[in-house]
Structure 1
Amino acid sequence: MTLAEMTGITTIWTLIFWTKICKTKLAPQAPTIDVCYAAVMAAERAYALFFLVYLFWGSAPQPRRRWPPMSRYSDQQLHHPIEIYVGEGPEADRFVRRLNKELLRLMAEAGQAGEQEPERGQERSREKDQELQQARRHKPAELSGWLAAGLKPLPEGAAPLRMNSGAQAFAARSAAAAARRLSLAGLVPARQGKRRDGYRRRFEVTVFGVRAVHTAEVGGVGAGSSLGANAGAAGGVGVGQEESSQPDSPWHRRLEKLAVKALYTQGLDFGQVTLEAGDAGWEIARMTACPAFRTPEAARAFAAAVLETAEGWRAEAERGAERLVNGRSAGAVGQAEDPELFGSGSGDLLLGMDPEFLLFDPGAGKIIPASRFLSRTGAAGCDSVWIRGRRRFPLAELRPDPAGEPKAALRQLMGAMREAARQIGDAPLAWLAGGLPQPGLPLGGHLHFSGVVLTPQLLRALDHFLALPVALLEDSRSASRRPRYGCLGDFRRQSHGGFEYRTLPSFLVSPVVTKGTVALALLVASVYKSGALPEVPPLPASALEAFYTGDRTALRPFALRALEQAEALPSFSSYQLYIDPMFKAVRSGRTWDESVDIRKAWKLAGNPPGQRA
């Protein structure tokens, strides 16, 4: 209600009040007052009718003011680094109001911190003053269901990071379809509408990107809740006092992993997940794309994550622009410009890996622990698994130094492989790679990235361009490792500041697969890092079903489309020599055989299995 409306209502009620006073006090001496009183009472009734109509129509949600497309602001230094989809409706309105409030508060604090920052021996430079004024002007902007934010604008030509583009598809998805996606990825959806007995611990986890920004425990007893996008609070569950868990606690890490994975399966980049302790472990009771901030701390943590991600994306775009300028300058003075050389700076892209393999004795028909030949550390070592509650070291693992281009990365890998061959010697053992060459011991081909911002978009791109084509090449027994191992979007943050992509099986099965995987991973990451990677939508339900069940026929159209899109990426020609043989194998329908000793393909010295030195 506006100030003018409130003033008008106050005036009308004051006039009615004083007219009634006059009617009571002056009617015997002034009969003409009756006429005035009748007129005022008629006005009162008309106003009462108007007021009821206003309450009914005026309280309905009104459409929010829409901003023009963000591109119109590019000339006014309002090109925000991040755009998040917030949608429509009352729930989205509440989310936007709370988030906007905290974003503005954090941006104001950032400006004040900049003002108080002391200069060492000199006054603040004009450039720093301009940056401070720019941060004050750079307020969040809302446009057509999207909210754009950031402390500073993106450099010219850089594309913003768009988050939660899959929220509309999630909103239209049925509860059964959402539950199926969770089940395929190895998660347990809560049983719908089934009464639970006893007290069950419930946690509400708010996620942005690949991190849980806030975790709170809520308690209750009762019926199941809905997995649908428009579900309200869990039915029959009373919300207790929130207790945020410690970020470094095992509880937080476990809940974070489950919540991030649940949202990723639905194609969401942020949201809120309610987890409930059930008979089969943790169950997903509810998911929503618009978090309900129960406390100011939750809203503030979410806003801080938005600005942190925006600043990381903006800084990466600026470094990319600087590399482009430096590359052009180098070309101008006659130096060769190589788009693959990323390994010369602290923020440059590097790729490491730790593919695994097994040592198998065909004569005895059993696995020989790698710990008999290899130590736990070094470029060629052994890795552990838990078997019947005991830690064993049956896996051999190669750990080459990271590199920024395919040739160097493969050179490092070959060096680690030769070191393994030297330590294992002429033992008549078969080296087996792939996904599941022997029952009970799944193998992984984990890729380590550094110098690139980790977002769900990057994970989705790696799934699309890497995991789908590799799945077509797999031995038929390899798919049975999923979903416990090799889920789409599986990652682990590393202490060096990068992350480990854990979806792929061991690609050591052949040089063709290894070269193609390494080069394709560097291509996707470098194009993503430069901001030129097209947005990869979440996989449809049919593709997910085919991937997790190992249905190569159903998966083939999606993988072939990924090959075509990869060949259209910028700089593909720089990596084509390494990638083309693998793409030809995918298109021809070939698969690898996980029972074959990989040493022959890699031309490693050693006695064949069954022969003694």
Structure 2
Amino acid sequence: MAGFVLHAREPEAARLLERLTVPAGTLAPQGTEWVLRWGTEAADPPGVWTLNPRDAVRRCLDISARERLLRLGGIKTEASHGKMPGARRGVYPWEYWIPVFHLETLAIYERKNTQPLIQRGTGEQAGAYRRLAPGERGFHARRAAREAVKAAYALGLDFALVGVAATVDGHTIVREIRPCPKLNAELAVLYADAIDRFAEEREREREEAADRSLLLGADPEFLLLRPDGKVANAAKFLEKQGGVGCDAVVQSGHRLIHPLVELRPEPAADPHRLAARIGRSMREADRLIPDRSLLWLAGSMPVPGVPLGGHVHLSGIPLTSRLLRVLDNYAALPLVMLESASGPKRRPRYGILGDFRRKGHGGFEYRSLPSWLESPGLAAGVLCLVYCLARHERELSWRPLAEEEMQRAFYTIDKEALRPAVARIWEEIRRTETYAACRKDLQALESRTLAGDDWEESRDVKPAWGLTAVPAAGVMHNRESPSEKTGASPPFVL
């Protein structure tokens, strides 16, 4: 049997069960590939992919634990927003209830308020909220939907009913999360249809597994630093489009600048081939950027206010919450051992756990990793690691980041707390079939992550890639920019 909905005869589940085509009951049969838990306190079936695992539901129902986890992920809540200077708690011009299922929103229900203080309600009363058609979803609704998906994922949930509000001072806050919501007729249809679609997708995934071809892509970034410590404008040398282009950063006041160089090699079915293409892209960048006085910097945030990404693209494999959590636990977690003190400053705006974006080609982009362009060896190791994880997601079931203390250690880069988990992660990776094909690169990456030595973000990466180095004399790398001292935007040459 492929899938099963596990419940405990809760009255609120009755409407859902009468509409489901997926088998359901109070005890999951042997051989089930995935289980969706709806409200039951029964233990999770061992070795089975479980949606809304019991511990995640319990954490969500513990308001203090929920607040702490959401805060770690950079998600504003009613409690955290109320502590912000000038915040007007309880003043919500827009309120939303958003049913979330498996990384997607099923609908958006909006209520616009004209009263200055909003009376709390269940959010499920007929007429209290209006369901928005896709064309009616404005800025606040779209942002509320994104925050709802992020909040559910941050708590380890796969589905929930999420209450969100937009405040008068422009913030989007999560007010409530219900992992086992009471269902009216409309919500029951939404969730039943979503569960049935999920079951169909898993069945199709199983049938097409032999014919699928995994493709790996990437668009890692680096920045250009002048000898006087100012960030150079990459748009001076590069177009926005193309295999080597410039990318934007939004500064305060919504000012758009283009300080980043982004490599966009063609994807490949083999991580070593993709690594070779990245090497060619670096050589092409060297040709297009003739100023030899510039430092090329990679890492998390080598200059305050300029976060860098090492996004990896995957296609030919379905995006699932299981795959996303495998990437978090088996890629983002080990790689944080290489990050320097700038890593926590990049987060939570960039690089949070589970950061993804669907792409037009049918695949997705995993966005949690910083720029790994420090060296060809590191780049090859990261690409081999992601490739290995994508090939073996079903075998890699440990979730250390499900624990609050591990998430805190990740976001604060507490390497001593993380090291035992990283060692176990590598033990599991070594047991995969793909490890042998990537042994050299993965062994080198394992050694570096277990050592936990910071990468040197201030070091020019060009020599490591066999490119022309900056002469040592006359380079003044200002690590403490005005932005770090005063909160102003970092120094750019436009």
TM-score range, shorter chain: 0.7 to 0.9
* Match among 182, 206, 216 for residue 317 of structure 1: 206
- What is the rounded CA distance, in whole Å, between the counterparts of 2:107 and 2:286 in structure 1? 48
Match of 1:556 in 2: 419
Alignment of 1:574-589 (within 5 A): 574-589=437-452
Q: Aligned partner of 2:20: which letter? A: L
Alpha carbons of structure 1 residues 477 and 544: separation in structure 2 relative to 1, 3 Å = same
Question: What whole-Å deviation, never above 9, does each CA across 1:358-389 have from its counterpart, x for those lacking one?
Answer: 11112x22111111111111111100122232
User: Residue type of the partner of 1:98?
Assistant: R
Q: Partner residue of 1:190? A: 78
Deviations 1:223-253 (A, max 9, x none): 897xxxxxx947xx98743322234634443
Whether 1:525 and 2:393 are equivalent positions in the alignment is: no
Counterpart residue type for residue 94 of structure 1: E
State how far apart, in whole Å, the 1-side matches of 2:371 and 2:219 are. Answer: 9
Structure 1 letter corresponding to 2:98: V
The structure 2 residue matched to 1:502, chosen from 367, 371, 385, is: 367
What are the superposed Cα offsets for residues 124-182 of structure 1, whole Å, 9 maximum, x if unpaired?
xxxxxxxxxxxxxxx523243799899xxxxxxxx975322245553585211110101
Letter matched to residue 276 of structure 1: A
The correspondence of residues 16-35 of structure 1 with structure 2, limited to 5 A, is none
Judging changes above 3 Å, is the alpha-carbon distance between structure 1 residues 272 and 603 closer, same or farther for their aligned structure 2 residues? Answer: same
Are 1:515 and 2:380 counterparts?
yes
The answer to whether structure 1 residue 272 and structure 2 residue 152 are counterparts is no
1:319 Cα offset (Å)? 2.5
1:562 Cα deviation (Å)?
1.7
Contact kept, 8 Å, 1:507 with 1:514, in 2: the verdict is yes
Say which is worse superposed, 542-551 or 600-609, in terms of deviation. Answer: 600-609
> Does the alignment pair 1:243 with 2:130?
yes
2:222 alignment counterpart: 357
Which residue of the partner structure matches residue 208 of structure 1? Answer: 101
Gaps of 5+ in 1: 1-78, 105-138, 151-158, 226-231, 324-346
1:101 aligns with 2:18: yes
**How big is the shift at 1:591?**
1.7
Shift in Å, 1:426: 4.6
Alignment deviations for residues 110-133 of structure 1 (CA, whole Å, 9 cap, x no partner): xxxxxxxxxxxxxxxxxxxxxxxx
Q: Say whether 1:260 aligns with 2:149.
A: yes
Give the superposition deviation at 1:479: 2.1
1:546 aligns to 2:464 (yes or no): no
- Show CA shifts across 1:447-469 (max 9, x none): 11111111111111101011111
After TM superposition, list the pairs within 5 Å mapping 1:222-237 onto structure 2.
233=122
Query: Which one has more relative contact order, counting CA pairs under 8 Å at least 6 apart?
Result: 2
Gaps of at least 5 residues in structure 2 are 35-46, 83-87, 476-494
Other structure's SS at 1:446 match: strand
Give the alignment of 1:376-415 within 5 angstroms: 376-387=240-251, 388-415=253-280
Alignment partner, residue 178 of structure 1 = 66
Partners of 1:215 and 1:149 in 2: CA distance: 31
Q: CA, structure 1 residues 384+610, in 2 after alignment: closer, same or farther (shift >3 Å)?
A: farther
State whether structure 2 residue 326 is matched by structure 1 residue 461. yes
Does residue 141 of structure 1 match 2:45? no
Relative distance call for 1:375 and 1:99 in structure 2 (3 A) is same
| Counterpart in the other structure of 1:305 | 194
Query: How far apart are the structure 1 equivalents of 2:244 and 2:219?
Result: 9
Q: Which has the higher helix share?
A: 1
Q: CA deviation at 1:538?
A: 4.9
Distance 2:108 2:362 in 1: 23
Residue 487 of structure 1: how far off its partner (Å)? 0.3
Specify the code of the residue in structure 2 equivalent to 1:242: Y
Cα deviation per residue 1:23-66 (whole Å; 9 max; x = unaligned)?
A: xxxxxxxxxxxxxxxxxxxxxxxxxxxxxxxxxxxxxxxxxxxx
Aligned to 2:435: 572
The whole-number CA distance in structure 1 between the counterparts of 2:370 and 2:337 is: 12
Q: Write the letter of the residue equivalent to 1:394.
A: P
User: In structure 2, what is the Cα distance between the partners aligned to 1:354 and 1:168?
Assistant: 33
Change (3 A) 1:307 1:142: same
With structure 1 as the length reference, what TM-score do the two structures score?
A: 0.68
Distance 2:119 2:337 in 1: 39
* Alpha-carbon separation, structure 1, partners of 2:6 and 2:464: 49
CA contact (8 A) 1:83 1:162 kept: no
2:307 alignment partner in structure 1: 442
Aligned partner of 2:478 in structure 1 is none
CA-based RMSD: 3.0
Task: For 2:108, give the aligned amino acid.
Answer: T
Give the C-alpha shift of residue 441 in structure 1: 0.6
Residues 606 and 597 (structure 1 numbering): CA distance in 2 closer, same or farther, change over 3 Å? closer
Q: From 376, 379, 397, give the equivalent of 1:534.
A: 397
Work out the CA distance in 1 between the residues paired with 2:371 and 2:56. Answer: 36
1:597 paired residue number: 460
For 2:190 and 2:60, the matched residues in 1 are separated by: 28
* 480-489 vs 533-542, which moves further: 533-542
What secondary structure does 1:102 align onto? coil
Distance 1:259 1:443, change over 3 A: same
Q: Compared with structure 1, are the counterparts of its residues 604 and 288 closer, same or farther at alpha carbon in structure 2 (3 Å cutoff)?
A: same
Q: Distance in 2 between matches of 1:182 and 1:240?
A: 30
Identity of counterpart residues, as a percentage?
35
Opposite residue 600 of structure 1, the aligned amino acid is P
Task: Give the letter for the 2:184 counterpart.
Answer: R
CA distance in 2, matches of 1:89, 1:542: 34
AA matched with 2:427 = E
Partner of 1:484: 349
> What's the CA shift for 1:600?
0.9
